[in-house]
């Protein structure tokens, strides 16, 4: 629960900073409605495993245990951020976070390459690639999946189907029973899971991790959820009806999991509210910290470049 609340608070801070023009550049892509996927998936991974994220990568970064202070410092383009304030594609190899894919879905074959490297090194580490329903139609996903099957790679292909590729509904692009059903064509197991339930996601990813560690190869998982905010922060979603949005918000993972914990008497409403206040204070402190940090020097634009 805490991971999901922290993800939403960090992303809200980023979105607010952009809307008030504290931050400029590429508009934020928030994962509102998808928090359970990142939280559940990362909970199933171990130290030494790797994740490869999309342009909505902040959720997985937080879930993987990165410091909100350093994440927000990076988003504020400050030198103490994870990438020295020079990119919002946050990377931390010590936690297995290998940047973000700005090109859809560039991160997927790279995740496959890391899985191949780990296999060649004789480790039992796995790679997990996040990608969206829109990206699932890109050739890079198909090629990576085909090679992962051919070479029995320790790769988890995790599709976050949030129902919309920018403005296109998934049902307009998908004519089969599910995105995961395509896995049979690659010779991989395909799993559909409730992406609003962090425990269901954790269980599905944990099974895929165990299979990969045992030498069984890759797994294709489709986690289905609802994108609650627009494609980018300024997208007001005029292409969705008020009724559809109201229905989508009933599937908010934080709402649903909070109600479940309360029903099962694991976390009361008061305890959840207190947790939320603590997280809001933590993130407010991280924002205040980021604002005080220095920008990179001009000459640093030419450093950390690789070809």
Which whole number is the average pLDDT over 122-145? Answer: 97
pLDDT at 6 over 90: yes
CA distance 34 to 14: 16
pTM: 0.97
pLDDT, tens only, 66-84: 999 999 999 999 999 999 9
Residue 180 lies in a domain: yes
Q: The CATH number of the domain where 174 resides is what?
A: 3.40.50.970
Place of tokens 């383009």: 77
User: Under DSSP, is residue 97 helix (H, G, I), strand (E, B) or coil?
Assistant: strand
Given CA atoms 225, 282, 231, 132 in this order, what sign does their dihedral have?
negative
User: Given pLDDT bands bounded at 50, 70 and 90, which one contains residue 99?
Assistant: confident
Answer yes or no: are the C-beta atoms of 219 and 129 closer than 8 Å: no
Residue-level pLDDT at 304: 87
Answer yes or no: are the C-beta atoms of 66 and 224 closer than 8 Å: no
Place of tokens 């403005």: 167
Answer yes or no: are the C-beta atoms of 223 and 42 closer than 8 Å: no
User: Given pLDDT bands bounded at 50, 70 and 90, which one contains residue 144?
Assistant: very high
Residue 168 lies in a domain: yes
pLDDT, tens only, 14-68: 999 999 999 988 899 999 999 999 999 999 999 999 999 998 899 999 999 999 9
Residue 240 lies in a domain: yes
pLDDT, tens only, 275-293: 999 999 999 999 999 999 9
Residue 9 lies in a domain: yes
CA distance 158 to 139: 16
- The range of the structural domain enclosing residue 138 comes to 2-290
How big, in percent rounded to 5, are the helix, strand and coil portions of the chain?
50, 10, 40
pLDDT, tens only, 157-176: 999 999 999 999 999 999 99
Residue 131 lies in a domain: yes
Residue 158: which of 118, 80, 212, 117 has the closest Cα? 212
Could you tell me which residues come within 8 angstroms of residue 210 by beta carbon, excluding any fewer than 6 positions away?
none
Answer yes or no: are the C-beta atoms of 69 and 13 closer than 8 Å: no
Residue 301 lies in a domain: no
Q: How many domains does the chain have?
A: 1
Host H or E run for residue 98? strand 97-100
Residue 296 lies in a domain: no
Residue-level pLDDT at 102: 77
Question: What is the CB neighbour count within 10 angstroms for residue 137?
Answer: 16
CA distance 182 to 185: 6
Tokens (6 digits) for 149: 């099957």
Residue 22 lies in a domain: yes
What are φ and ψ of residue 194, in 5° steps? -70, 110
Residue-level pLDDT at 4: 98
Which whole number is the average pLDDT over 142-151? Answer: 98
Host H or E run for residue 176? none
Residue 16: which of 233, 229, 231 has the closest Cα? 233
CA distance 133 to 80: 34
Residue-level pLDDT at 88: 79
């Amino acid at each position: 629960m805490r991971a999901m609340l922290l993800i939403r608070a960090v992303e809200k801070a980023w979105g607010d900073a952009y809307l008030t023009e504290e931050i400029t550049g590429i508009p934020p892509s928030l994962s509102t409605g998808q928090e359970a996927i990142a939280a559940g998936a990362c909970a199933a991974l171990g130290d030494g495993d790797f994740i490869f994220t999309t342009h909505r990568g902040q959720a997985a970064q937080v879930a993987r245990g990165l410091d909100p202070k350093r994440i927000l410092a990076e988003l504020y383009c400050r030198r103490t951020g994870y990438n020295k304030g020079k990119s919002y594609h946050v990377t931390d190899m010590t936690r297995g976070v290998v940047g973000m894919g700005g090109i859809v879905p560039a991160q997927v074959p790279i995740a496959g390459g890391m899985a191949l490297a780990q296999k060649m090194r004789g480790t039992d580490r796995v790679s997990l690639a996040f990608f969206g329903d829109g990206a699932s139609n890109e050739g890079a996903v198909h090629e990576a999946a085909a090679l992962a099957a051919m070479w029995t790679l320790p790769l988890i292909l995790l599709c976050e189907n949030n129902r919309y590729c920018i403005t296109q509904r998934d049902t307009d692009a998908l004519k089969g029973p599910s995105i995961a059903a395509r896995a049979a064509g690659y010779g991989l197991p395909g799993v559909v899971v409730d992406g609003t339930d962090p425990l269901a996601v954790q269980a599905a990813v944990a099974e895929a991790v165990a299979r990969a560690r045992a030498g069984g190869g890759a797994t294709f998982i489709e986690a289905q959820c609802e994108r609650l905010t627009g494609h980018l922060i300024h997208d007001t979603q005029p292409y969705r009806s008020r009724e559809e949005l109201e229905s989508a918000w009933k599937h908010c993972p934080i709402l649903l999991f909070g109600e479940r914990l309360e029903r099962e008497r694991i976390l009361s409403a008061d305890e959840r509210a207190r947790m939320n206040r603590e997280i809001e204070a933590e993130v407010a402190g991280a924002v205040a910290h980021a604002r005080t940090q220095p920008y990179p020097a001009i000459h640093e634009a030419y450093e950390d470049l690789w070809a």
